[in-house]
Amino acid sequence: MGRGAGIAVKVVAAVVVGAVVYAAVTFGQVWLASRRDGAHKSQAIVVFGAAQYNGRPSAVLRARLDHAVDLYQKRVAPVIVVTGGRQPGDKFTEATASADYLHTKGVPDSDILREVSGQSSWQSLAAVAAFLKVRRIHDVVLVSDPFHSLRIGGMAAELGLDAAVSPTRTSPIRGLDATEYMGRETVAVAVGRIVGFRREAGVKSVVRRDVG
């Protein structure tokens, strides 16, 4: 092996080791973020959408909404923002199903704002950031599943929101399933930090839409 080839091998090895270390550190950060609850007095609670079935929130979405109601009742914020558009074949948007569910929990329609066009977490949060800016709302608490915490916090920062994350603790996604999602989130965060979360959002295969 010539000197040039030897240097090339060392460079490749260094890149591989660096990538592995970066991924491991990012996974650790995703896990640590999933354990934290940053709920504090704010202007709005933003709930990330998930699957709904003919107007009925899935178990994943109900867990997020129940947590948002708990924060609302504790006066963390006076407004709940529900998100999510209509998936192909659906009659209802995720936001509409969420709002209807919040009504059953005693949240008045006047305290609910809807984002009904987003087909991904980025699209929904970008739309939310735009209409909250018009209302002079910037300090928000984001609600989703624990594994989602680090990425949505990063997206919010990129969109100019002053956001804290308060994940639900009653999600049905647990154990090995949760670990799998944390692995996917690790990839999404690792890529998003390099290219920006707006560009990362175009990689639809990284994180499944049905959980945010």
CA–CA distance, 48 with 64 (Å, rounded to integer): 8
E strands present in 48-144: 52-53, 56-57, 80-83, 112-115, 139-143
Provide CATH code, domain 33-211. 3.40.50.620
Q: Tokens in use for 121?
A: 């977490």
Residue 209: predicted pLDDT: 42
Domain boundaries, given as residue ranges, for the chain: 33-211
Judge contact between 168 and 45, C-beta under 8 A.
Answer: no
Q: What phi and psi, each to the nearest 5 degrees, are found at residue 144? A: -160, -160
- Which pLDDT band, with edges at 50, 70 and 90, does 202 fall under? confident
- Which pLDDT band, with edges at 50, 70 and 90, does 4 fall under? low
Per-residue pLDDT tens over the stretch 37-90: 999 999 999 999 999 999 999 999 999 999 999 999 999 999 999 999 998 888
This model's pTM is above 0.85:
yes
Residue 72: predicted pLDDT: 98
Q: Is 101 helix (H, G, I), strand (E, B) or coil?
A: helix
Instruction: Name residue 205's amino acid.
Output: S
Q: What angle do CA 52, 113, 171 make, to 5 degrees?
A: 40
